[in-house]
Structure 1
Amino acid sequence: MAGLTLRDTGLAILVSLIWGMGFVVAKGGMSHFPPILLMALRFSITAVALVWFMGPVGSNLPRLALISVVGASLQYSLTFSGVNGLGAGLAALVVQLEVPFLVILGALLLGERPTARKWLGILIAFAGVGVIASQEQFSGSMVSILLVMSGALTWAFGQVLVRRLTGMTGLSVTAWIAVLAAPQLFILSALFETGQIEAIRTAGPGAWSAAIYLGLVMTALGYFLWNSLLLRQEVGRVAPFLLLLPVFSVIGGILFLDEAITLPRLIGGAIVLSGVALITIAWPTATKAQPDQPTTGDQTGT
C-alpha cells in the first residue's frame, strides 16, 4: 500500500484537531448541561444525521445492542462524567489509555499476541497516568481520573466486540450505535442526574452549539473522515496521528478555558504519550502490519 499522501496526512491531522477540540467544547457544554445529558443530546443529533446510513445488520443486531450499552452508553457516561471534573487537556491524556486497554483485551479475549515493545508501552502509559494522579494538586480529582480510566476500559471492550461484526461499514456501525445509545443515555441521565428539563429549557446558543459540535462535527464528521482514511490506508499509518489529539486539547484548554499548564502535568503527559507511541507507531523496518495492531476506526472513545 502506498504511503500517506499530503491529502490523507492533512485529513489525519484534521481528525485529531476535531476530536481534540471536542474535549474543550464538551467542557464548555457541561458548564450548562449535566455530562450524561450532554452525551444523550450528542448521540441524538448524530442519530438524526446518520440514521439514513444504518443499513441491514442481519445477525449483528445482538452484538450491536451490547456494543451500544458497553462501548457507547456506559463508556461515554463514565468518560465525560470524569471529564467534567478534569481539565480538557488532562482528560484527553488519560483517555489515551484506551489504546493500552485495547491491546490487553485483544490479548485476553481475541488471542492476539502483543510484542514486548507493546507491553513496554503499556507499562509506560500507565506509569504516566500514575505520575499525573500522584500529584498533590490532582488529589481531589482522583475519582474523575478513575472514571475516565474506567471509560477507556469499557471503550476497549466495545472495540473488541466491534471487531467481531461482519458485513458492515464503519459509517453504518456508527449510525446504529448512535440510534441505539441515545435513548439509553437519556435513561442513564434520568437515573443519575438532576435538573435536565431546566437545563434544556434554559440552554442558550452556546450550550446548543456545543451539543451540535459534539454530535455533527466530532462524531458524524470525525468518524466519517476517519473511516474514509482507513478505507485507503493501514491503521498503523494513520493511528499515530491520534497522538496529536491531547496536544490540541491542551492548547484549546489554555486558549479557551484558561486552563493552567504545569511542569509535572507536562512530564506525566509526555510519559503517557511515549507509551502510547510505542504501541501505535510501527518500526521503520516492519514490512507488514502486525496482527495485534490496535483498531480504532469504527468507534473510538471520543
Structure 2
Amino acid sequence: MQKLTGRDLAAALTVVVLWGINFVVMKFALRDFTPFQLGTARYVFAVLPLVLLVRPPRVAWKWIAAYGLLQGVGQFGILFFALKVGMTAALASVLQQTQVFWTALFGFVLLHEKASRPLQAGLVLAALGLACFALNYVGTDGLGATTPLGFVLTLCAAAMWAMSNIVARRVQQAYKDYSPLAFVVWSSLVAVLPFAALSWAFDPEPLRWHWLEARASSWAAVAYLGWAATILGYGLWTNLLKRHPANRVAPFSLGVPVVGLATGMLVLGEVVTPWQWAGVAFVVAALACVMLGGLVFRPRPQQA
C-alpha cells in the first residue's frame, strides 16, 4: 500500500485549512451579497476560466446536472441562508460534517449499503450531539448568534451534501476513468443559472443590484470560495482519493471543524455555549468513531 508522502500530507493539510476557514469567508461575503447572489458569484468564479480549458467529463449529463443542483444550489444555497438567518461560522463547520451520517443513511436506503459497527456507534454519538444542540434552544438563554431555523437549515444543507455524495458514488461506479476535476467544473456551471434565477425572483428590489457596490473584501471572499475552496480544495482532495484508499484520506477531514471553530471564535469573536460545546464533542467523537473505528473493530483473522 502506497504511503502518504510529504507532498500528500501537505495537500491534505492545505485542504483542511481551506475548508475550515471557508465558513468565516462566507460570513464576510454575506455582508454585501444575498444568499442567492453569493451562490451565483461563487460558481461563476468556480467555472471561469477552467470551463474554457477543461473538456466536459465523459459522464452522462443527468449526473452532472444532479450533482450541480444538489451540491451547488442545494447544499450551499441552504447553507448561505442558514448563515444569514442565524448560524455561526464556527458551529456551521461542525454541523456540516453530519453529512457523513446523512450519507450513510441515504446509502442504506438508496444503495442498500450495510451499516458497520463503527458507523452504528457513530450514529448514536451523533444523535446525542444533535440533542445537545437542540437543548441549547430550550428557554431563551440559547437564543443569540444562532437560531433554531439556522440550526435546521444547516442540517438540511448537510443532507443535500450527502445526496450529492450518493450521486458521486453512482458516477464512480459507472464511469471508472472520468476526470473528477472536469466533473466539479462542469457541475459548477449547472448551478449558475438556477442561482441567478432565484436571485431575480426572490431577492427584494433594493437588493438586486446591491452587489455592484460590494466591498473589495467581499469580492475577495467570493474569489476565495470559487477558486480556493471549490477548485483547489476539491482538486487536491479528489487527487488524494484517486491515489490512496479513502480510509487513509478521510480522517484528515476531522481537522475541518477544528479549524472552523478556531477561526470563527478568533476572527469573528463568535461564542460557543456549554450545550453547543457538548454537541461539538459528541459530533467530533462520532466522526472519529466512523473514520478510525475500523482499527478497533477490525475483524479477527480466522484460525486454521
- TM-score, normalised to structure 2, is 0.88
For residue 67 of structure 1, what is the amino acid of its counterpart? Answer: Y
> What's the CA shift for 1:81?
0.9
For residue 129 of structure 1, what is the amino acid of its counterpart? Answer: L
Q: 2:184 corresponds to which residue?
A: 174
RMSD over aligned CA atoms reads 2.0
Q: Show CA shifts across 1:196-248 (max 9, x none).
A: 43321211111101101101111111111111211221111111111111111
Q: 2:121 corresponds to which residue?
A: 120
For residue 63 of structure 2, what is the amino acid of its counterpart? Answer: R
Q: 1:107 to 1:262 in 2, by over 3 A?
A: same
Alignment coverage as a number of residue pairs: 288
Are 1:49 and 1:220, in contact at CA under 8 Å, matched by a contact in 2? no
Separation in 1, partners of 2:203, 2:124 = 35
Q: 2:38 corresponds to which residue?
A: 38
For residue 204 of structure 1, what is the amino acid of its counterpart? Answer: R
Are 1:16 and 1:244, in contact at CA under 8 Å, matched by a contact in 2? yes
Structure 2 SS opposite 1:281: helix
Q: 1:215 corresponds to which residue?
A: 226
Are 1:45 and 1:215, in contact at CA under 8 Å, matched by a contact in 2? yes
Structure 1 residue ranges without an equivalent (≥5): 289-302
Q: Show CA shifts across 1:243-264 (max 9, x none).
A: 1111111111122111123333
For residue 219 of structure 1, what is the amino acid of its counterpart? Answer: T
- Say which is worse superposed, 279-288 or 39-48, in terms of deviation: 279-288
For residue 178 of structure 1, what is the amino acid of its counterpart? Answer: S
Q: 1:150 corresponds to which residue?
A: 156
Question: Do structure 1's residue 129 and structure 2's residue 130 form an aligned pair?
Answer: yes
Separation in 1, partners of 2:63, 2:216 = 37
- TM-score, normalised to structure 1, is 0.89
Aligned positions of 1:171-210 closer than 5 A: 171-194=181-204, 195-210=206-221
Aligned positions of 1:140-289 closer than 5 A: 141-165=147-171, 166=175, 167-194=177-204, 195-284=206-295
Structure 1 SS opposite 2:122: helix
Aligned positions of 1:82-101 closer than 5 A: 82-84=82-84, 85-101=86-102
Separation in 2, partners of 1:27, 1:43 = 17
Structure 2 residue ranges without an equivalent (≥5): 300-304
Are 2:34 and 2:207, in contact at CA under 8 Å, matched by a contact in 1? yes
Q: Show CA shifts across 1:135-183 (max 9, x none).
A: 1344461111111111111111121112222242210110111111111
Are 1:36 and 1:76, in contact at CA under 8 Å, matched by a contact in 2? no
Are 2:117 and 2:297, in contact at CA under 8 Å, matched by a contact in 1? no
Runs of 4+ in 1 over 6 A off after TM superposition: 285-288
